[in-house]
């Protein structure tokens, strides 16, 4: 099909007019930027042109025609699935682009792939940016949190567009230049890892109240709405309350009860865990959130295990309202500990990857638009404003006090969950992380002794410097 408007004057082009790509492009058009879209699917191009009819937009399903629409030096953004699809689009684009043109990958690409692409394209004279975008479909349309990495000169080319399209908090745009190379995609990956962990924690609170307390969906709806008003205010808590109030349009039953309990994933949580392990940063709650999604799909195995490992249900015998109050405190502590793990990973990666991350700025742009936005991010921002190089949020006295004020409720809730036989691995992992992090002594000396015993791996001593080995077979 032919484009609706012609001329090489459009400031940015989008490849991929699925919901996210179309919405982000329309968002830019809302802010009076001339933009163009490309998709092989004619229907998607037509849908974009129809929805953007009152704006300065154009589009085509022919790549050469689309590129000709863009003002030089060109800026081309893509929102396509991570992996080979990104490389395929880049290879097609190279036939049309010229030195000085810019390609922006706004999908959830593996940051290691982003590093390779950025270096390869720069050698050809083409700029490349890996850019994280968070906020889902609605965020893309009305203001997401945007995490662009790459060379600062490349960011400068599109900075006005991204600032205009991003979410705003107190007038501040939720976008900043993250750093060089793959930093934008790395930060978005960690954002998603935190998201995995927070969602797992909320699902465990649901299980405790549903199976443990016997609360119905109307009661659960009210609990989450109350939590969102005070103490746990954030996007994920907000939508959780809405979910429990939604009816299925076909059956008129509560929709939550019609959804199969098998959680999907696209890889960013797993990549976060892998990266944390590579950098020797403990992120146990993110790790267990990934594992629980894997476990959720093993329904047939769990059905057999239910028979083989049966245990009588032990409902909670205490006051329900009191338990819900304790659970709220437990959630506050656990969510803070999740942010601590994620930010600690960013702190280490900032040094080892050469990103030079501004953690205060990252907390700032996460306050609006993105999935993990929550009021606590303002406090986290304040921590890094005071101590920019702090390796862990728990080392800040004010932040640590909030966790400490709620830790006993986390313990009590964990004990009751164990008694009831309700799985709460994320809650337990945050508690164990807290206890391990605040413990000056850990039993790892035994592990070192074992390693030296069976593998002569040596060990260090506390009474003198050096590396030692013991002949354990000596009598």
For residue 108, say whether it is annotated as part of any ligand binding site. yes
CA-closest candidate to residue 330, choices 430, 423, 255:
430
| Domain 12-177 listed as CATH 1.10.2020.10 | no
Per residue in 285-330, pLDDT (tens digit) is: 999 999 999 999 999 999 999 989 998 888 898 999 999 999 999 9
Residue among 11, 118, 188, 326 flagged as catalytic = 188
pTM exceeds 0.85: yes
112 assigned to active site: no
Flag whether pLDDT at 262 surpasses 90. no
Question: What is the per-residue pLDDT for 1?
Answer: 39
CB 132 within 8 A of CB 187: yes
CA-closest candidate to residue 131, choices 100, 157, 95:
157
Q: Is the peptide bond before 73 cis (omega within 30 degrees of 0)?
A: yes
Tell me the average pLDDT across 117-144: 95
For residue 457, say whether it is annotated as part of any ligand binding site. yes
Residue among 118, 195, 204, 238 flagged as catalytic = 195
Per residue in 336-391, pLDDT (tens digit) is: 999 999 999 999 999 999 999 999 999 999 999 999 999 999 999 999 999 999 99
Q: What is the mean pLDDT of the chain?
A: 95
In 387-459, which residue ranges form alpha helices assigned H by DSSP?
397-420, 425-437, 444-455
Per residue in 43-76, pLDDT (tens digit) is: 999 999 999 999 999 999 999 999 999 999 999 9
Question: Over pLDDT 70: what percentage of the chain?
Answer: 98
Would you tell me which CATH number, out of the four given (1.20.5.320, 2.60.120.10, 3.30.830.10, 3.40.50.620), belongs to the domain 443-474?
A: 1.20.5.320
For residue 134, say whether it is annotated as part of any ligand binding site. yes
- For 422, the token pair is 């309700």
Answer whether 12-177 and 188-438 agree in fold: no
Question: What is the per-residue pLDDT for 155?
Answer: 96
| Domain 188-438 listed as CATH 1.10.1040.10 | yes
Domain spans in the chain, listed from the N-terminal domain onward = 12-177, 188-438, 443-474
3-state secondary structure of 409: helix
Convert 39-60 to b/e letters by CB count within 10 Å (16 or more is b): beeeebbbbbbebbeebebbbb
Can you tell me the distance from the alpha carbon of 96 to that of 66, in angstroms, rounded to the nearest whole number? 10
Tokens 């937009």 sit on residue: 57
Region for residue 179 given its phi and psi (left: phi exceeds 0; alpha: psi -120 to 50; beta: otherwise): left
Per residue in 11-37, pLDDT (tens digit) is: 999 999 999 999 999 999 999 999 999
Can you tell me the distance from the alpha carbon of 323 to that of 425, in angstroms, rounded to the nearest whole number? 18
Can you tell me the distance from the alpha carbon of 136 to that of 469, in angstroms, rounded to the nearest whole number? 55
Question: Over pLDDT 90: what percentage of the chain?
Answer: 93
3 assigned to active site: no
Question: What is the per-residue pLDDT for 266?
Answer: 79
Question: What is the per-residue pLDDT for 2?
Answer: 39
218 pLDDT band, cuts 50/70/90, is very high
Question: What is the per-residue pLDDT for 313?
Answer: 81
CB 467 within 8 A of CB 458: yes
Contacts of 369 (CB under 8 A, 6+ apart): 134, 135, 139, 143, 144, 145, 146, 166, 167, 174
For residue 13, say whether it is annotated as part of any ligand binding site. no
């Amino acid at each position: 099909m032919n484009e609706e408007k012609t001329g090489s004057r459009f400031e940015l082009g989008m490849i991929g007019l699925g919901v996210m790509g179309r919405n982000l492009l329309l968002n830019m058009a809302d802010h009076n930027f001339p933009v163009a879209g490309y998709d092989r699917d004619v229907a998607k191009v037509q849908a974009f042109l129809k929805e953007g009819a009152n704006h300065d937009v154009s589009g085509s399903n022919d790549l050469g025609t689309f590129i000709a629409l863009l003002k030089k030096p060109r800026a081309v953004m893509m929102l396509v699935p991570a992996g080979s699809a990104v490389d395929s689009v880049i290879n097609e684009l190279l036939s049309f682009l010229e030195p000085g043109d810019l390609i922006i990958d706004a999908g959830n690409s593996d940051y290691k792939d982003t590093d390779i692409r950025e270096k390869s394209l720069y050698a050809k004279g083409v700029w490349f940016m890996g850019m994280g975008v968070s906020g889902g479909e609605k965020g893309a349309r009305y203001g997401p949190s945007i995490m662009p990495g790459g060379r600062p000169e490349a960011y400068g080319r599109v900075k006005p567009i991204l600032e205009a399209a991003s979410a705003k908090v107190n007038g501040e745009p939720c976008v900043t230049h993250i750093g060089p190379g793959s930093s934008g995609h790395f930060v978005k990956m960690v954002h998603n890892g935190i998201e995995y962990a927070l969602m797992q924690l909320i699902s465990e609170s649901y299980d405790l109240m549903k199976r443990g307390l016997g609360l119905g969906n109307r009661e659960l709806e009210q609990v989450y709405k109350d939590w969102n008003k005070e103490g746990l205010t954030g996007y994920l808590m907000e939508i959780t309350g809405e979910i429990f109030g939604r009816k299925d349009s076909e059956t008129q039953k509560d929709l939550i009860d019609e959804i199969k309990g098998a959680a999907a994933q696209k890889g960013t949580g797993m990549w976060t865990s892998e990266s944390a392990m590579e950098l020797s940063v403990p992120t146990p709650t993110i790790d267990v959130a990934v594992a629980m999604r894997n476990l959720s799909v093993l329904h047939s195995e769990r059905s057999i295990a239910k028979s083989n490992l049966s245990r009588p249900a032990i409902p909670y015998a205490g006051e329900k309202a009191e338990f819900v109050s304790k659970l709220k405190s437990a959630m506050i502590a656990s969510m803070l500990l999740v942010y601590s793990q994620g930010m600690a990973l960013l702190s280490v990666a900032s040094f080892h990857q050469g990103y030079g991350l501004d953690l205060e700025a990252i907390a700032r742009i996460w306050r609006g638009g993105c999935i993990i936005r929550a009021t606590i991010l303002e406090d986290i921002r304040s921590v890094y404003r005071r101590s920019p190089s702090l390796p862990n949020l728990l080392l800040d006295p004010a932040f640590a006090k909030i966790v400490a004020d709620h830790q006993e409720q986390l313990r009590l809730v964990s004990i009751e969950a164990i008694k009831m036989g309700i799985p709460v691995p994320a809650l337990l992992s945050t508690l164990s992380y807290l206890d391990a992090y605040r413990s000056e002594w850990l039993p790892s000396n035994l592990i070192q002794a074992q390693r030296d015993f069976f593998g002569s791996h040596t060990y260090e001593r506390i009474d003198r410097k050096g590396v030692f080995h013991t002949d354990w077979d000596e009598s």
